[in-house]
A and B are shown apart, each in its own frame.
Chain A
């Protein structure tokens, strides 16, 4: 009788594990595709090595403009000394797009008053890091911006 009883228990335990294991597996089979579906597919970044930013005549001294570099914004600046520079235009603080401020002669983020000098260094406000610098090459009249390697 005793043996039978524990045998019954064993059988019941076995069924319990089998069923709960099956249930977990079943839940996993349902959840896995759902979670994978919700993950946005990795989009291949538009591989851009170099972009034509415009003509030197488009940039007067002490001005700046945002250009498209693949799918990222880049700010191109012509300093008062007629020096062309380019930086990532995405503020290192919270992702806003920066702008050139002629009156302050620096790069400014309107969202939280972050300031960068014309070398891209964060000099005031909340930005934790400098802006990534891009290479500027001038061929004749044309300004080309490319990633620094």
Chain B
């Protein structure tokens, strides 16, 4: 057996020179320092994304994307298909954990200033993937075609419609018409299973290639204090083994969550029923949703909600472009504004999410 595997290895090696790859992996090192733990969240996010792709494909075998059949097909998955409940619950939980892990990864990169030159493109691709992760969440939420999702999608797409100039056409594009109907379901389904995964995969490949090419960033703070360089660990196999162990733990956590808190289905959407009480978006939209509630109907010459959306838009663009306006960090100097704004953003998101949850 061993001989056979070796022969296969040699056969491939002769053609694609696996030696080079081995050399490359052998030369890749991960710095060890007091903040090393944050390096793992990129890997965890990647793992959860892979879980999403696999469980998503499995769900596709039974799911039917039409307003007449979507709800029933999920009922079928949950009650008739062997382990259907498990696959769907893992898909739902992995989505939530994925976004949580991406949040942690993003903020750790921010606080360590890992986006500073020469890693600007890695940051930009990462932030676009973060926005897409939210898009995955929004589009996937409607697919069961239940009451909560129906009205949440109505509200969410109506908020998009409030954006000046492009809002209305964008809303119609998203909804596939003026209202949330079966056409909306078809569109969001297309986004969720084809368009987004396609774009996301391209960005992910660029993101990962850059990480391989440029190596792990070392925290600016440690670089300034010249505490780095002393310790490092080979990526292969040492760091990878640690990665795999953590993935195993995450997989267990997922299984526990999926078994003890399986995904719910609610009642089928009825466009001619009144909205039920307690319509809330998914937790990762709550801080924005809650913020919009505090804006009064009119502010100066503009509708309060529109102003809120514009402010979030501006904040999103500033966030995306951080490496380009934070010149200080790129020059290896401390920039406390970033630390303070990062801390403010984390506290703001947590507090507003709790307020939104409780209201």
List A residues at the B interface (Cβ < 8 Å). 38-40, 43, 66-68, 71, 73, 89, 91, 94-99, 109-112, 126, 128
**Judging by beta carbons under 8 Å apart, are B155 and A111 in contact?**
yes
**Judging by beta carbons under 8 Å apart, are A97 and B274 in contact?**
yes
Across the interface, name the chain B residue whose C-beta is closest to A71.
Answer: B179
Q: Which residues of B (289-305) have their CB < 8 Å from a CB of A? A: 293, 297, 303, 305
**Interface range for B:** 20 to 34
Give the distance in Å from the alpha carbon of A9 to the alpha carbon of B166 in the complex.
43
A and B contact pairs by CB, cutoff 8 A, 24 listed: A39-B172, A40-B173, A43-B177, A66-B274, A67-B272, A89-B274, A95-B180, A96-B154, A96-B275, A96-B279, A97-B272, A97-B273, A98-B275, A110-B274, A110-B275, A110-B276, A110-B277, A110-B278, A111-B155, A111-B279, A112-B293, A126-B293, A126-B297, A128-B303
Q: Which A residues are CB-close (under 8 A) to B221? A: none
**Judging by beta carbons under 8 Å apart, are B293 and A40 in contact?**
no
Give the distance in Å from the alpha carbon of A89 to the alpha carbon of B183 in the complex.
21
**Judging by beta carbons under 8 Å apart, are A96 and B151 in contact?**
yes
Across the interface, name the chain B residue whose C-beta is closest to A68.
Answer: B272
**Judging by beta carbons under 8 Å apart, are A73 and B271 in contact?**
yes
Would you call the interface of chain A mostly helix, strand, loop, or mixed?
A: loop
The residue among A67, A109, A112 with the most chain B CB atoms within 10 A of its own CB is A112
**Judging by beta carbons under 8 Å apart, are A94 and B183 in contact?**
no
Nearest chain B CB to A60 CB, angstrom units: 18
Across the interface, name the chain B residue whose C-beta is closest to A98.
Answer: B274
Q: Is B320 an interface residue (CB 8 A)?
A: no
Give the distance in Å from the alpha carbon of A71 to the alpha carbon of B179 in the complex.
10
Q: With A38-B173, A40-B176, A71-B179 as known contacts, state yes or no: A95 contacts B155, CB within 8 Å.
A: yes
Q: With A95-B154, A112-B293 as known contacts, state yes or no: A40 contacts B275, CB within 8 Å.
A: no
Give the distance in Å from the alpha carbon of A40 to the alpha carbon of B278 in the complex.
31
Nearest chain A CB to B162 CB, angstrom units: 9
Q: Which residues of B (162-201) have their CB < 8 Å from a CB of A? A: 172-173, 175-177, 179-180, 183
- For the complex with contacts A66-B272, A96-B279, 16 further pairs of A-B residues with Cβ separation under 8 Å are A38-B173, A39-B172, A66-B273, A94-B154, A95-B154, A95-B158, A95-B180, A96-B154, A96-B155, A96-B275, A97-B273, A98-B275, A99-B274, A111-B275, A126-B293, A128-B303
Q: Which A residues are CB-close (under 8 A) to B305? A: 126
Residue pairs across A and B with CB atoms within 8 Å: the count is 60
Q: Which A residues are CB-close (under 8 A) to B159? A: 94
**Judging by beta carbons under 8 Å apart, are B279 and A110 in contact?**
yes
Q: Which B residues are CB-close (under 8 A) to A89? A: 274
- Which residue from A39, A73, A112 sits with its C-beta under 8 Å from B272? A73
Q: Which B residues are CB-close (under 8 A) to A97? A: 151, 271-275
Give the distance in Å from the alpha carbon of A99 to the alpha carbon of B147 in the complex.
15
Nearest chain A CB to B177 CB, angstrom units: 5
Give the distance in Å from the alpha carbon of A112 to the alpha carbon of B156 in the complex.
13
Nearest chain B CB to A86 CB, angstrom units: 14
Q: Which B residues are CB-close (under 8 A) to A109? A: 275
Across the interface, name the chain B residue whose C-beta is closest to A38.
Answer: B173
Across the interface, name the chain B residue whose C-beta is closest to A112.
Answer: B293
Give the distance in Å from the alpha carbon of A68 to the alpha carbon of B275 in the complex.
15
Nearest chain B CB to A76 CB, angstrom units: 12
Give the distance in Å from the alpha carbon of A82 to the alpha carbon of B46 in the complex.
62
Q: With A110-B279, A126-B297, A128-B303 as known contacts, state yes or no: A94 contacts B158, CB within 8 Å.
A: yes
Q: Which B residues are CB-close (under 8 A) to A73? A: 271-272
Q: Which B residues are CB-close (under 8 A) to A111? A: 151, 155, 275, 279
Give the distance in Å from the alpha carbon of A99 to the alpha carbon of B297 in the complex.
22
Give the distance in Å from the alpha carbon of A128 to the alpha carbon of B162 in the complex.
13
Minimum-distance CB pairs A-B, first 4: A99-B274, A96-B275, A110-B277, A95-B158
Nearest chain A CB to B291 CB, angstrom units: 13
Give the distance in Å from the alpha carbon of A4 to the alpha carbon of B158 in the complex.
63
Q: Which A residues are CB-close (under 8 A) to B275? A: 91, 96-99, 109-111
**Judging by beta carbons under 8 Å apart, are A40 and B183 in contact?**
yes
Nearest chain A CB to B19 CB, angstrom units: 43
Give the distance in Å from the alpha carbon of A2 to the alpha carbon of B177 in the complex.
62
Nearest chain B CB to A93 CB, angstrom units: 8
Nearest chain A CB to B128 CB, angstrom units: 21
Q: Which B residues are CB-close (under 8 A) to A43? A: 177
Give the distance in Å from the alpha carbon of A109 to the alpha carbon of B158 in the complex.
15
Give the distance in Å from the alpha carbon of A43 to the alpha carbon of B175 in the complex.
13
Q: With A95-B155, A95-B158 as known contacts, state yes or no: A40 contacts B279, CB within 8 Å.
A: no
Give the distance in Å from the alpha carbon of A122 to the alpha carbon of B253 in the complex.
47
Nearest chain A CB to B280 CB, angstrom units: 9
